Amino acid sequence: MLARVHTASLLGLTARRITVEVDLARGLPTFHLVGLPDGAVRESRERVTAALKNSGFSLPVRRITVNLAPADQPKSGSGFDLPIALAILEADGSLVPGRPLAALGELALDGRVRPVRGVLPAAAALAQGGAEQVLVAQENAREAALVRGLRSIPVGSLRSAVDHVSGLCPIEPAVSTSARPSGEPGKDWDEVRGQAGARRALEIAAAGCHNALLIGPPGAGKTFLARRLPTILPPLSEPEALEVTAIHSAWGRLSAERPLVTSPPFRAPHHSISATALLGGGNPARAGEVCLAHRGVLFLDELPEFRRDALEGLRQPIEDGEILIGRARERHRFPTRVLLVAAMNPCPCGWWGDDRRACVCTPGARRAYRGRVSGPLLDRIDLHVPFRSVPYLELVGGEQAERSAAVLARVEAARIRQRARGDVNARLEPGMSAAGRSAGWARLDAEGRRLLAGAHDRMGISARGHVRILRVARTIADLDGRDAIEPSDLAEAIQYRILDRALEPCEPIRERTTSTCRSTSTNDG
């Protein structure tokens, strides 16, 4: 007798609908599994056999052939256990389902159903294929319930799954709960002391999703401030939340109680990470840290200490917003729309340019240290932000920064203006008129064009740098609620492109009479 149960197989970040076909034939008792299974799938024969016996079912004394269709696509993972067991029972007549079955789950030897990764994209693939309900482990039930129009049935064991399908003991579908709390507890923008210019720069970065490089001596607060950046980022929209949740589901990183991710992720890999772990790859291909940070922040502390191939591999993902991993049989697309924030010291000892401690590095050592980060990568970073050591009086009794909620309100208002243009400012492309002048959102007045032309002559700005200066200036204007880019906006944006300024003592760019800090100097004194 032939039986079919539907399931799904994860391939990269997407899932493909798979049909588990079981045929019981006369002959010597054997168990054949075909359809390009990997090692984990092949081992399901032993798990399914033990789970059936320990759940009170007898393994058919027949020639069992299990086919995973389509047979020309590789299958991986342990989620085939439950659908294979159900298909065997259906083929043997021990289970008579009233409708087509869809299931996903790993079986323990005693028949318990264990959770697997990638349930959200798998459930979405099954729903797209016409499934009305899917049987999953209890820990995966709320995750599968995120798919609209699909009933997620939490089963604790193979026996409970059979009782539900047979109608002996129906199980109520799981209901997706509210999202996990946003941000990390105990972190807020107002914990930062001093560094007014750096706070200003990161507010601009958050508002327009601009990449930033934080440069300063050890203990100046670079990491402390970067880890509080997610508290001023707007929450994810529903489509963005489902997209990010699917990525983390493929990695098996979701909470069983509150699976939906609504706050931008924050990833901070150690500098010893390999290029594959950072960018993605392997066999089978899996997402890297840059993909796990999609729609959120990728923080690279001690930037020059990262492997050169890993850093150079970031150039295309942060520019295009995706990375393509090619394999002999397939190609994988991993989204990588991240806000890149990196931190580094100005020299190997860390004290170059500091007014309290003398640098002991030679000029050659400083050049070699900075040379570990290539020019093309630096050209893709919009904001070069200097840090200075915070004086004692500012550290213990200085003016307290605004709370995250106040900064977030300005960032959200700027994002609303950007959505009217179609995308965040960091990804806008300026059109050019017949006269060679920027049109639309990047239009400048005569003074602004003269200012930008002078910067090109003095700084040797690349074409990419020219566009990024306009994008940052557009964000500064959005934070102030203005439609036009003023010369002061452009001047501030140009200053953020000067890498040497982040490595030497500097003066404030400008002063404004608003409640928000408008100085790009990081020395509040």
How does DSSP classify residue 465? Answer: H
CA distance 291 to 267: 10
127 with 15: CB under 8 angstroms? no
pLDDT at 520 over 60: no
Q: What is the pLDDT of residues 214-268, one digit of tens each?
A: 999 999 999 999 999 999 999 999 999 999 999 999 998 888 888 999 999 999 9
Sketch out the chain's domains with CATH numbers: 2-166 (3.30.230.10), 190-422+498-503 (3.40.50.300)
Count of alpha carbons within 13 angstroms of residue 11, beta-carbon side:
18
**Alpha-carbon span 416 to 294, nearest angstrom:** 20
228 membership: H or E segment, kind and range:
none
Task: Note the maximum CA span of the chain.
Answer: 89
Per-residue pLDDT of 119-171, as tens digits, reads: 999 999 999 999 999 999 999 999 999 999 999 999 999 999 999 999 999 99
For residues 145 and 380, what is the distance between their CA atoms, to the nearest angstrom? 40
- DSSP one-letter string for 364-404: HHHHHHHTTS-HHHHHT-SEEEE--PPPHHHHHHSPBPPPH
- Residue 522 has φ and ψ, to the nearest 5°, of -95, 5
Please tell me the pTM assigned to this model: 0.88
Residue 523 has pLDDT above 50, yes or no: no
- The predicted-structure confidence for 391-409, as pLDDT tens digits, reads as follows 887 887 767 778 999 999 9
- The Cα 4–Cα 130 span in angstroms is 15
Share of the chain above pLDDT 90, in %: 73
pLDDT at 180 over 80: no
For residue 155, the SS3 value is strand
Give the CA angle between residues 70, 75, 81 to the nearest 5°. Answer: 105
Q: Where are the beta strands (DSSP E) in 290-432?
A: 297-300, 322-326, 331-335, 339-344, 383-386
Structural element, H or E, at residue 32 = strand 30-34
> Which of 296-300, 323-327, 421-425, 427-431 holds the top average pLDDT?
296-300
More confident residue, 38 or 329: 38
β-bridge pairing 151-155 and 14-25: unpaired
Is 204 within 8 Å of 493 (Cβ atoms)? no
**Percent of the chain having pLDDT more than 70?**
91
Tell me the three state secondary structure of residue 46.
Answer: helix
To 10 degrees, what angle do helices 196-208 and 463-479 make?
100
User: For position 179, what pLDDT does the model report?
Assistant: 55
Task: Name which of 75, 137, 146 is nearest 103 in CA terms.
Answer: 137
* Kind of pairing between the strands at 14-25 and 63-69: antiparallel
CA distances to 143, 296, 300, 432 from 413, rounded to whole Å, are: 32, 18, 28, 27
Instruction: Find the mean pLDDT for residues 348-352.
Output: 93
Whole-number Å distance between alpha carbons of 286 and 247: 10
Total number of residues shown for the chain: 525
